Homo-oligomer: A and B are copies of this chain.
Amino acid sequence: MLITADMSRDLAARGLTQSRTHLLWELSHRGPSTQRELAGALRVSPRNVTGLVDALVDTGFVVRTPHPTDRRATLVDFTPKGSAAVRVLEREQKDFARLLFQDMPEQQFSGLVEGLGAVLERLRGLVVREDSGGGHA
């Protein structure tokens, strides 16, 4: 997820912060989720998710619904307002990508993509994910 300064201002005007927006974004990619799942996806403590979901419920972006089979868990899902907010986010990201890349000469674009790809490969060789045991190559 990419959030520009302008987008941040707009989000704030709608009652969203970056962390809450991140949660909405994950929710839109995963569908209705337990808070535990969201905590894992956001790499954040379950307690933190409680707070973020509380705020998003208060401001009308999501609802907590009972989990169909596990009575300990709740499923977080969008309200119509929440779905609409994510659609706006997606459109803004596409618009922003167009502003950055549209009409870029093909050769320049492919040079950029190849260079970034190479950097990502190098990063992949260096990074060990938190959930895979930590440490360096």
Residues of A within 8 A of B (CB): 6, 99-101, 104, 108-116, 118-119, 122-123, 126, 136
A101 to chain B minimum Cβ distance, whole angstroms, is 8
Interfacial chain B residues near A100, Cβ < 8 Å: 119, 122-123
Residues of chain B contacted by A136 (CB below 8 angstroms) = 6
Contact of A111 among B111, B122, B126 (CB under 8 A): B111
- In the bound assembly, the distance between CA atoms of A22 and B118 in angstroms comes to 28
A110, closest chain B residue (CB): B111
Q: Judging by beta carbons under 8 Å apart, are A115 and B108 in contact?
A: yes
Q: Which of A6, A112, A116 has the most B CB atoms < 10 Å from its CB?
A: A112
Complex Cα spacing A29 to B115, Å: 30
Contact among B6, B99, B108 for A118, CB-based, below 8 A? B108
Contact A112 B116 (CB under 8 A): yes
Cα distance, A119 to B2, chains bound together (Å): 15
Chain B residues, CB < 8 A from A114: 108, 111-112
What residues on B are CB-neighbors of A118 within 8 Å?
A: 104, 108, 112
- Our pick among B6, B119, B123 for the contact of A112 (Cβ within 8 Å) is B119
A112 to B, closest residue via Cβ: B115
Contacts of A6 in B (CB 8 A): 136
**Inside 8 A of A112's CB, which chain B residues have their CB?**
111-112, 114-116, 118-119
